[in-house]
Structure 1
Amino acid sequence: MAIDLRDVAPTRNETIPEFSAGDNVAVHVRVVEGDRERIQVFEGTVLRVRKGYNGSFTVRRVASGVGVERTFPLNGKRIERVEVTRRGRVRRSRLYYLRGRTGRAARVREARRR
């Protein structure tokens, strides 16, 4: 008996649009605190994107002068939605060099509209 892989393969989370490293995104995450549940927005620059079903993406922002990075699974159940606020133009797929930069040096150029 053969297994049809189309039945077993999980589907992609439809609430997540296509984005890449350098884009600014706002990730709406469901947070559970005790018996309450609320939506928390984490907005920042995408440092990396790992594709596939087990893929994830890392977002970095500076809050109160401290760099904060969060890694989210692409198919995570807690992700309500992802909004791309700004498209960035970069030549790398991993932007780890932004960790050592502050202020204007940490900015990413905006991509041109087509």
Structure 2
Amino acid sequence: MSNSFTYKDKDVGVGDRVHVIQKVFESGKERRQIFIGTLIKVKGESENRTVTVRRIGENKIGIEKIFSVNNPFLEDIVVAHEGHKGTRKAKIYYIRHKSKKEIDKSSSRNKKKEAKK
């Protein structure tokens, strides 16, 4: 199991805040749909690789979406904010039971520890 991978010469890892851009065809028209969230799982190897992205929607409801990395409709994965380097797990399911505030608090605590070193 790996907790990071390379997508179009960019390193993407578990815990990163990402923007997943994909093409959507509706009524004969093409548009781009952007899903913004935290990467919580990387699964598979090379052409079978999938990633799971989680975000908090309206009314504090968690939304998870699974993307196949080699899907032709997947345009790009952009890393908006790198997760803290202390993530040792390939699947960070424990984020499901934490609020957004608790997640930000724990990542900022790790940043302070790294700054002291």
User: Could you tell me the TM-score, scaled by structure 1's length?
Assistant: 0.77
1:41 counterpart residue number: 34
Determine which structure has the larger strand proportion and give its number: 2
Aligned in 2, Cα 1:25/1:14: closer, same or farther, shift over 3 Å? closer
Q: CA separation in 2, counterparts of 1:92 and 1:14?
A: 20
Give the CA RMSD over aligned residues. 2.3
| Count of aligned pairs | 101
Query: Which segments of 5 or more consecutive residues in structure 2 lack a partner in the other structure?
Result: 1-5
- The structure where helix makes up a greater share of residues is 2
Shift of 1:47: 0.3
% identical aligned pairs? 29
Q: Distance in 2 between matches of 1:30 and 1:94?
A: 27
CA contact (8 A) 2:21 2:75 kept: yes
Deviation readout 1:88-107 (Å, 9 max, x if unpaired): 12232111111111131233
Give the aligned partner of residue 107 of structure 2. Answer: 109
Give the distance between the partners of 1:48 and 1:25, measured in 2 at CA: 12
Is 1:75 aligned to 2:75, yes or no? no
Superposition map of 1:49-68 within 5 A? 49-50=42-43, 51-64=45-58, 65-68=60-63
The normalised TM-score by structure 2 is: 0.75
Which structure has the greater CA radius of gyration? 1
- Deviant stretches of 4+, over 4 Å: none
The answer to whether the 8 A contact 2:7-2:77 is kept is no
